[in-house]
Amino acid sequence: MAKIDFGGTVEEVVTLEEFPIDKAREILKNEVIAILGYGVQGPAQALNMRDNGVNVIIGQMEGDEYWQKAIRDGFVPGKTLFPLKEAAQKGTIIMELLSDAGQTATWPMVKECLNEGDALYFSHGFSIVYKDQTKVIPPKNVDVIMVAPKGSGTSVRANFLAGDGINSSFAVEQDYTGRAMDRTLAIGIAVGSGYLFPTTFQKEVFSDLTGERGVLMGCLSGVMEAQYNVLRKNGHSPSEAFNETVEELTQSLIRLVDQNGMDWMFSNCSATAQRGALDWSPKFRDAVMPVFEDLYSKVASGSETKRVLEVNGKPDYKVKLQAELNLIKNSEMWKAGAAVRSLRPTQRKK
């Protein structure tokens, strides 16, 4: 592993220099990697591994929309695409990429298919850490491993195709074969990680659930909505409110943060913007700190996961989810966003 200084704290990470793709292929050459679930992470990890020359099969509910997507992506029924149970029986590394609720529902079947020496792989610590709720308790004679890409499946695939990769955390929960770490790192490289950093199943799920509900999605959505509504209430047009809230962030400023950090973004804005940002940033930090403390405590206690399993496990979950998403889509703010996006030069040329 390479030792990197992260702001005064030295961490060990794994890159392609220490673990090249040829080494990953060698470790995985006799494995049958069965990916269960072709929804969010499944396609990206499957396609990246297939492109990297790794033996991958897909397990999915026969005939559903994700089964059809797998066929469109070149997986062949009876050869590389199978019903869930058949894929699990064929795999030596079973990759649990179903939804968290889906993993809970199918666990008795998956457990039945595990053979001594197999590896049970996750991209999220949910099912293992909250085993009291999920009942996912692996047998002692298999490896239990994790690689968790820090991005959506869409980003995992797009970054791979762009030659960049996406950062991933990794962990070994149970090493029965003595090969668990090699298997983990090999898959981490094969799915297209930019670099891999160590964690534990518990730390991964606590940070992930906090991040999704916080800065990455929930907080971001809520803060955007609040600013947009204040601007509209004070007489600003939808176009002006959206551009000042979302468009300038996504099309300009966040790219500067990505390139060289927050200070770099600040230094590339006007003196007025710099002063205002520096003065108001601590106020926002202090205002939301209690919310984040409450959020983390609910993640750690399991109350957040209890809600996920209860809501996402209901038969009408997808219908109700779509209704909630439609409320966002049909709000004035995001209708304004659709109009703004249609006016971008790249869209107008199509």
8-58 pLDDT, tens digit each: 888 889 988 889 999 999 999 999 999 999 998 999 999 999 999 999 999
**In the predicted model, what is the mean pLDDT of residues 241-255?**
94
Distance between CA 115 and CA 186 in Å, rounded?
21
Mark out the alpha helices in the chain (DSSP H runs): 21-28, 41-51, 65-72, 84-90, 100-113, 126-129, 131-134, 153-161, 180-190, 201-213, 218-233, 238-242, 248, 254-260, 262-267, 271-301, 303-312, 317-329, 332-342, 345-348
The number of distinct structural domains making up the chain is 2
pLDDT at 347: 60
Read off the pLDDT of residues 97-155 as tens digits, 9 standing for 90 and up.
999 889 999 999 999 999 999 999 999 999 999 999 999 999 999 999 999 999 889 99
Residues 253, 305 within the same domain: yes
Residue 278 predicted with pLDDT over 70: yes
Report which of 195, 170, 196 is spatially closest to residue 184, judged by C-alpha positions. 170
* Mean per-residue pLDDT, 179-192: 97
Q: Give the pLDDT score at 80.
A: 97
Residue where a domain terminates, one of 199, 225, 240: 199
* 57 and 158 fall within a common domain: yes
Q: Give the domain-ending residue among 143, 170, 199.
A: 199
**Is 165 found in the same domain as 107?**
yes
Query: Which residue range forms the structural domain that includes residue 45?
Result: 2-199
* Catalytic center residues: 124
pTM reported for the whole predicted model: 0.88
**Residue 348, pLDDT above cutoff 80:** no
Give the pLDDT of residue 131.
95
* Residue-level pLDDT at 12: 86
Share the mean pLDDT of the chain: 94
In a domain, 131, yes or no: yes
